[in-house]
Amino acid sequence: MEKVRVEEDLLGAVEVPLAALYGAQTRRAILNFPLLASRTIGDYPEMLDALMIVKKAAANTNLRTGYLDSRKASAVGAAADKILAGGYSDQFPIHCLHGGGGTSANMNANEVIANLAEESLGGCRGAYRIVHPNDDVNLHQSTNDVYPTACHIAIVRSWPLLDQKLQDLSDGFLQSGREWGDVPHIARTCLQDAVEITFLDLLGAYAAFVARGRARVDEAVDRLHEVNLGGTIVGRADDVPGEYFDLIIEELRNSAGDEKFSRPANLFLAAQSPDDLIAVSSALDLLARGLIKIGKDFRLIASGPETGFGEVGLPAVQPGSSIMPGKVNPVVPEFMIQLCMQVAGKHAACVMTLDHGELDLNIWESLIVFNILDSMELIANAVSTFREKCLRGIQPNLEKNRRNVATVSPLVTRVTRKYGYSTISQVCKEASGDTDRIRILLAEKGLI
């Protein structure tokens, strides 16, 4: 039988596992929000790091302003540093989508830090006689400014990894485009033959899309450097001492190692609307939808082997059928497509949080931040896998592409530039859509 200790909170006594660094409120959250197959706060190291960064900033600010003595502030900061160093994720077992607008996550952080600090100063786990989760670790903070700030920090710090993956994909498209730049390719509009382009034209456009999507996400993420730390409950600065309010953003910059963090012009708006977070989700959604289109394009131009487009060969990475020998499917583009579809679904959930924020506080940041972090992970996986296992090994079918650009549509477009639309349109009308007849008539009329 598991050994327990008894802690007290607003609602009474709570049994907490004796070895746990968390306390009563975390234990209640574990019981209230069954985990089943879902992810915990501890499964998101970027969120844990962000919470620790906020707690360190608050402790340092309270030290500078005289509200915490150096002994307590140092112990709190050292505890946060231990968690930042890793190895404590199992002490954050709360369902990532817990109710309460992030209160359980904030208290989980407060309790673990308090117990680590308590023990470092000679106290007992769960006693909180030296360092208290609320009175000391959470001093001059509310979940309503701590948690949104941590959400912003987590996304800002997660973005560079995806940013690099997107840069690599864009570079990969350009590299392949230059490698096959002399190979002609038939462009299509409305799935009908159009004009002759090159593989550099095709792949260069994909590279440009990824670069534009990357820039769009980067701009949205950069705006998250505005945080409402110090706005406490609903944006009212009067709920913390003036000297704390004046210093907390400076200390946040120090703790995060990022000088760009600042406070928004209207703290009440920051409490009411997470639209700045939704802008990041929206940019990821647009990026994902464009990547779906690219994945579908690769499936089309590689379709075949005999009755499809067959203009490109994709690397064969696995057998494609359990019953048809020799069949190989475009599984890597399909993998990317599905991951990006999941991103679009997560964005749809994020958008709903704007609709359902009531009055002075939007309490749905958990849904937004973890969907965004998931989406970043999904896209990073999608684009790196696509680049490594598909794009790098493409082989244009030289003969098929040459035949395709020798078809009638590119020919008609070329002669139209010389003789005019009406003249060539009359020839097409006379041929009644028979492509061989079009060629014959163009030759007979001396147009080619």
For residue 223, pLDDT beyond 90: yes
Catalytic, out of 176, 321, 366, 422: 321
**How far is 83 from 159, CA to CA, in rounded Å?**
21
Q: What number of other Cβ atoms are within 10 A of residue 271's Cβ? A: 25
Instruction: Give the H or E element holding residue 197.
Output: strand 192-198
β-strand pairing of 395-396 with 312-313: antiparallel
Clarify whether 38 is annotated catalytic: no
Give the pLDDT of residue 1: 80
For residue 30, pLDDT beyond 90: yes
Give the pLDDT of residue 233: 96
Q: How confident is the model at residue 56 (pLDDT cuts 50, 70, 90)?
A: very high
Q: How confident is the model at residue 189 (pLDDT cuts 50, 70, 90)?
A: very high
Compute the half-sphere exposure of residue 121: CA atoms within 13 Å on the CB side of its CA: 23
Instruction: Give CA angle at 332 (330, 334), nearest 5°.
Output: 70
Q: What is the mean pLDDT of residues 59-70?
A: 98
- Average pLDDT over the chain reads 96
Q: How confident is the model at residue 115 (pLDDT cuts 50, 70, 90)?
A: very high
Q: Which residues partner with 257 through β-bridges? A: none
> Over the Cα atoms of the chain, what is R_g?
29
Q: What is the mean pLDDT of residues 296-314?
A: 96
Query: 156 and 225 in contact (C-beta within 8 Å)?
Result: yes
For residue 2, pLDDT beyond 90: no
Q: How confident is the model at residue 429 (pLDDT cuts 50, 70, 90)?
A: very high
**pLDDT per position as a tens digit, 142-174:** 999 999 999 999 999 999 999 999 999 999 999
Residue 233 per-residue DSSP state = T
Least Cα distance to 273 among 363, 374, 145 occurs for: 363
List of domains in the chain: 4-139 (1.10.275.10), 145-401 (1.20.200.10), 407-444 (no CATH)
Three-class SS state of 149:
helix
